[in-house]
Amino acid sequence: MRRLTAEIDRNTGSSKAGSYSALSGFHYQNGYGLSATDLGNHGVKIELVHERDITGAIILPPGKVGECGRWLLKTIGQDRHGLPKELPGILQRLSKQKGGELILQRGDKKTIKDAIRILRS
């Protein structure tokens, strides 16, 4: 993933756009490459390039980036590294509870333990 940033040129004092790599792009044997650029508040640009062809790109809005990332991980068989789908619902329910003691429902403890295990790894 690449991150676009704005910076001031030390010599001229004018602003210029900079691009810094957060993750290197993926390159495949047949000349294809996949890269992602972080556009800040504008989302993420995902680009598929080939040595001889015109590049193709899409820009995901900020709200869809996480959803696309989860889909991509699931597609390549890496979804076991993602947080459990039930976790947001559990945390919302627990945050709405009043009083000193939180009441867990059946399966909540296992889901929370799985999330902690994933976050530690």
Q: What is the pLDDT of residues 67-77, one digit of tens each?
A: 887 777 777 66
The ranges assigned to domains in the chain are: 1-79, 83-121
Q: How many CB atoms lie within 10 A of CB 37?
A: 19
Q: Each residue of 11-38: pLDDT tens digit?
A: 676 665 555 444 556 667 777 888 888 8
User: Region 32-55: what's the mean pLDDT?
Assistant: 80
pLDDT band, residue 49 (cuts 50/70/90): confident
pLDDT band, residue 108 (cuts 50/70/90): very high
Return the closest-CA partner of residue 110 out of 91, 84, 88: 84
Residue type, position 108, single letter: D
Residue 111 or residue 36, greater confidence? 111
What is the pLDDT, as a whole number, of residue 7? 56
Residues of the chain above pLDDT 90, percent: 4
Residue type, position 49, single letter: V
Residue 107 reports pLDDT greater than 70: yes
Q: Is the four-CA dihedral 23, 58, 72, 95 of positive or negative sign?
A: positive
Residue 4 reports pLDDT greater than 60: no
What is the pLDDT, as a whole number, of residue 106? 92
68-to-5, 8, 44, 105 alpha-carbon distances in Å: 23, 33, 10, 30
